[in-house]
Amino acid sequence: MRELRVETEHPYTVHIGQGAVKLLAKRYRDLLAAADQVVVIADSQVAALHLPQLLEALEDFQPKVLQVPAGERAKSAESFMDCHSFLLSENCSRNTVIVAFGGGAVGDLAGFVASTFMRGVPFIQVPTTILAHDSAVGGKTAINHPLGKNMIGTFYQPRAVVYDADFLQTLPENEIRSGMAEVIKHAFISNEGWLDELLAYQNFSEMSGRELEGHLEKGIAVKSAIVEEDEFEGGVRKFLNFGHTLAHAIEAHLGYGKLTHGEAVVLGMAYALELSESPQLPRFLDWAKVNRYPLALLLDMPFSELLPYMKKDKKSTAAALNFVLLGAVGRPYIETILEQRAQAAYDKLRKTIKEMI
């Protein structure tokens, strides 16, 4: 079992390894035993596969379980209110502990619920996807608004992240693709050798469980170092948004859940590389093509339809579009891009994609 400490204002530990969920009752007994109630907010698809393991680990605390829709559909105002209604109807109090069980979406939702229920109750992240190596660490919580992704949320750190690698074994192919996009994002902003290793995958089924755990640990280390430096995103934390300006626009434009977050991030990273005039773009597009990321989707989406969403991105202002670009691998920076240049780069990328698929 590996442990990584995240030294934020309220520090916590990320436990990662097979069977990690079993340590919940031992390592967090004091927190859980002091709670008047333990409430699990679970992704319904994940619950169908793995809830018994979590309930066994928490059996001493007789948790209540609320299942929410799988994926991005969990991050709606309706599901946020359902969570609060559940907590109130179960007579939960400020001494309740929430456990988020599932992928990035349920983690973002449950974290937001935990940060707002009676102005804040403790929560533990139990992520079950590759993508959540990113979202479960760092304390960004959110739900979506039809006009923009993650527009409603807080910074609120979990008490612990318990990342059981056993849960990753049942991930469907599109979830593996989605999660690997955030892994590769961490490599782009930090380390060329690691990026080379990741871009060598022609098919993620070549990757052993041990290799995957290694990549997740590296990703978490990159993420936590940045979060430790800039917990509330005044500066360097924005680099973690590499690829996300376009990705979030695509997700909002298509309707949340139509595309996985990571698939959208791959399209967004290709665009950010084009804007950066990066020599990494051709091999990144080749990698995306062989690993069956939906590059062709960009051909159906005119720039004008995505622009209003990009303007609402949290890094942008009313007057300027701000993107995370890449000087070289490991050297991200923020640049303000004029609309005309943003459009030209988008059209150029679409032309390249059209010629290669």
Ligand X SMILES: O=C(O)C(=O)C[C@@H](O)[C@H](O)[C@H](O)COP(=O)(O)O
Return the residue of 15, 75, 133, 140 that touches ligand X, per CB under 6 A. Answer: 140
Q: Which of 15, 50, 75, 140 is catalytic?
A: 140
Which is nearer to ligand X, 45 or 135 (by Cβ)?
135
177 close to 263: Cβ distance less than 8 angstroms: yes
Q: Does 142 bind ligand X (CB under 6 A)?
A: yes
Site string for ligand X, 167-206 (x = CB under 6 A): ---------------x------------------------
Return the residue of 240, 267, 270, 329 that touches ligand X, per CB under 6 A. Answer: 240
Burial of 272 (0-12, 13-18, 19+ CB in 10 A): buried
Name residue 42's beta-bridge partners: 67, 101
Q: At closest approach, how far in Å is the CB of 251 from ligand X?
A: 9
Q: Does 134 bind ligand X (CB under 6 A)?
A: yes
Binding site residue list for Zn(2+): 182, 244, 261
Q: Which of 185, 261, 291, 322 is catalytic?
A: 261
Burial of 164 (0-12, 13-18, 19+ CB in 10 A): buried
For residues 327-350, one letter each, b for 16 or more C-beta atoms within 10 angstroms of the residue's C-beta and e for the rest, the string is: eebbebeeeebeeeebeebbeebb
Closest residue by Cα to residue 149 from 313, 330, 346, 277:
313
Q: Does 133 bind ligand X (CB under 6 A)?
A: no
| Span from 170-178, 199-207, 238-246, 278-286 in contact with ligand X (CB under 6 A) | 238-246
* C-alpha to C-alpha distance for 189 and 240, rounded to whole angstroms: 8
Which is it for strands 38-43 and 97-102: parallel, antiparallel or unpaired?
Answer: parallel
Binding site residue list: 104-108, 128-129, 140, 149, 167-170, 182, 244, 261
Active site members = 119, 140, 182, 223, 233, 237, 241, 244, 248, 261
